[in-house]
Structure 1
C-alpha cells in the first residue's frame, strides 16, 4: 500500500522560513530516494511557525528538485481563491512537470465573511461523544469543539486579509464543478459563455478532495467520483464519519470506478520508543498554540517544551491530537499505521512529521520507509 508525505514546511524555534523551505526541498529528495509515492505541501497563513503559505510555489521548488515522486497540494484552500486562479496555477506547473502533479482541494471551515469584516459565524458545535476504540484498536477520541476559536484575534485578522468584507463564497460543490469544467475545457459561465484556462485546460492532474468530516467535502468527492483524503491527523474524531460519508455518496466516474481513500496520520519515528517520545514532546505545545488562537508557533525544542507548566485545561485542549500521534520505534509505528488502514479501509496512507531538528525528521521518515517495506 502506498505511503506518502505531507509537509507543512515547519519553522523551528531559532530558525527561519528560508531554512524551512530548504529543509522541505531536502526532505522531498530524501523521500523520493526512500520510495514514498507522493509529496504533498500544505497551505497555512498568519503563523510564525509554518512557511508553507503557497502550495503552488513550493510545489515548483520540490518538483524541480525531484524527478519521479508525485508532488501535490494538501490542500489548496478554496475559501480565498477562485477556480480559475487554481486551474491556471496548476496548469503552469503541469506544463513544466507533466504527469506528476496532484491537485488537492480543501474547503476551509469558515465559508462566509460578514459585512463587518469580523470573524465568521461559528460552525455547529460537535456532537458530544466519549473516546472509543474501533474493533481493530484505532482510537477515536472525543471531538474537539472548533467553535472556541471563533472571535479569536487571529481568525478575525485571517478573515479580513484573505477575504473581501462581505464576500459571498460559492458553494463548495460549485467551485469543484468549475475547476473540473475548466480542466476538461467544457466550462460555461452562467450566461452560457465559453471560458478556457490556458495553461490549465487538458492538464494531466490528479484531482483530490480533502476533508475533515462527513460534510460537504466528503459528499462532493463521492458524488463527483474523485479520490478523497481524510484527515486523521487533524480531526481524528471524525475520520470514520468522513470516509463513510464519502463511500455512501460515491458515484463511478471517468476518474474512478470505485471509491479511493487516503488517510493521514501524524508520525514521529526513532530507534526506540523513548527516543521518539522525546522528539515528539514539543508537539503538544505546538498544537496548543494553534488551538488557543495564537497560530502555530515556531516548533519548540524538547528542552523548551520541558519547562512549560501545563494546566488541566491546556492538556484537555490538545489531548485528542497528542493521543492520536503515532510515536515510537519503526515496528511499533508501522503496527499502528496498519491498524489505521484496517479501521478506515484506506487505500493509501499519508504521514506528516514535525521535529525541532530537521535531521530527526529525515531520520524518522527514512526509518519508517524501511520498516514499511520490510513488513509489506
Structure 2
C-alpha cells in the first residue's frame, strides 16, 4: 500500500488569527492520526500574514505532544536560516521528548534565493510548453525570477540572515548535520558533539523542486527524497528522475524512496470541492506578487474578484495541478500522480477557509484512498 501523509502550513483564514491557525493544526494532527495518515510535516514560511508555520521546530514539538503514533517532522527546515548545529540541537531535543517519531526534512532556501537573483540578471531560458505525460499534467514552468523583482525579496533576505552572512553549500550543510547526528563531526582536528542531537533517531530527508542539487545530494547520500508537485509541478518528473538515476545505496536505504506532494481539496461532490478550492487562486497570486501569503479568503471573496488575463497566467500552473473534487475524483488523480512519478508515498496539503472543511477533506480522502487500495489488492476474479 502507498501511504498518505500531511503537509501543513498552519494557514490563517481571512478573519482569523495565528492562534486560531495553531489550534487548528493541533486538532488536524489528531484527526489525521486517527484517519491513518503516516506522517505530519510542518512547513517553514516567514513574513506571511496568512501562514502561522514560521517556527516549525516549536510547532513540531506541539504536534508530537498532541499525538501518539504518527510521525512528525519538517517539510522543510530552510537551512539558509539556521546553522547545522542549531538544527541538530533543536530536532535532537524533539527526539529526546518523542523518540523514534521525528523526521528532519531539509530544504535549500538561502542558496536558492541567491541563485534566483543571479538568474534574474541573465537571459531567460527557452520557453517550454505544457504537456500531459501518461495522464499527468506537467505545466509550462513558472519563471521564479519574477519574484526577484518584488520589493519583499531583498527584505526577506535581510531579515532571515545576519548582515553579511552567506549560505554555505547545501551539500556541506547536509554532511555537517549528518556528522553531528552521528557524533563524527571534526574540524581542524577538533571534535564537536551536539547535545541533545548526537545519536538522535531522526529520519533525515531532502526536499527539492527540480533535478538540481537537492535531488543529487539526496541520491548521492542514499537519503529519501520529497519532490514538489504542489509548488513546482513543471519539474517534478525531472526531480524524481535525477534522484533515481544518481541514487547510491547507503546505511539508510538500499533503494530510492520518493515522496511526491500534491495540493488537494476533497468534498462530497466535485462542485462543492471546487467552490471550497476557489480562493486558492487569490492565495497563490499573493505569494507570487508579494512573497507573502494573504490570509486564506472565503469563497465569497474569491467569487467577487475580477481577474485580468495576466494575473490568471501568473497562477495557471498551480490552479491546473490542484486536485479538487469528490473522493473518487481525487483518488483517481492522485493514483495517476503516483503511477507517473513512481512515488512510494504521497504528501497531501489542503487549505480551505473553514477548518471543518479542511478536516473533512483529509478524512474523506483517507477513507476513499483506503478503499481504493484494498480493492486494488484483491485478486482478480477467476
Which residue does the alignment assign to 1:157?
Answer: 155
Q: Residue 166 of structure 1: CA displacement?
A: 2.8
Which residue does the alignment assign to 1:3?
Answer: 4
Tell me the secondary structure at the aligned position of residue 251 of structure 1: coil
Q: Which runs of 5+ in 1 are unaligned?
A: none
Bigger CA drift: 362-371 or 125-134?
125-134
Question: Are residues 1:46 and 2:47 paired?
Answer: yes
Which residue does the alignment assign to 2:251?
Answer: 254
Tell me the secondary structure at the aligned position of residue 292 of structure 1: helix
Q: Residue 167 of structure 1: CA displacement?
A: 1.9
Distance 1:67 1:338 in 2: 29
- What does residue range 328-339 of structure 1 map to in structure 2 within 5 Å? 328-339=325-336
Distance 1:207 1:339 in 2: 27
Distance 1:127 1:16 in 2: 43
Which residue does the alignment assign to 1:204?
Answer: 201
Which residue does the alignment assign to 2:379?
Answer: none
- Superposition TM-score, scaled by structure 1 size: 0.96
8 Å contact kept, 1:222–1:249? yes
8 Å contact kept, 2:111–2:167? no
Which residue does the alignment assign to 1:187?
Answer: 185
Which residue does the alignment assign to 2:133?
Answer: 134
Distance 2:114 2:291 in 1: 20
Distance 2:107 2:191 in 1: 26
Distance 1:16 1:127 in 2: 43
Which residue does the alignment assign to 2:13?
Answer: 12
Q: In the comparison of the two structures, how many residue pairs are matched?
A: 370
Which residue does the alignment assign to 2:168?
Answer: 170
Answer 1 or 2: which has greater helix percent.
2
Q: Residue 112 of structure 1: CA displacement?
A: 6.5
8 Å contact kept, 1:112–1:169? no
Distance 2:125 2:199 in 1: 40
- What does residue range 1-376 of structure 1 map to in structure 2 within 5 Å? 1-108=2-109, 110-111=111-112, 120-122=117-119, 125=124, 127-135=126-134, 137-189=135-187, 191-376=188-373
Tell me the secondary structure at the aligned position of residue 239 of structure 1: helix
* Runs of 4 or more consecutive aligned structure 1 residues displaced over 3 Å after TM superposition: 109-114, 119-127
Tell me the secondary structure at the aligned position of residue 265 of structure 1: strand
Which residue does the alignment assign to 2:380?
Answer: none
Distance 1:289 1:341, change over 3 A: same
Q: Residue 164 of structure 1: CA displacement?
A: 2.4
8 Å contact kept, 1:113–1:159? no
Distance 1:126 1:76, change over 3 A: farther
Distance 1:86 1:109 in 2: 15
8 Å contact kept, 1:113–1:167? no
Distance 1:111 1:301 in 2: 32
Q: Residue 165 of structure 1: CA displacement?
A: 3.0
Q: Which runs of 5+ in 2 are unaligned?
A: 374-382
Tell me the secondary structure at the aligned position of residue 266 of structure 1: strand
Distance 1:330 1:126, change over 3 A: farther
Q: Residue 23 of structure 1: CA displacement?
A: 0.1
- Superposition TM-score, scaled by structure 2 size: 0.95
Tell me the secondary structure at the aligned position of residue 264 of structure 1: strand
Q: Residue 294 of structure 1: CA displacement?
A: 4.7
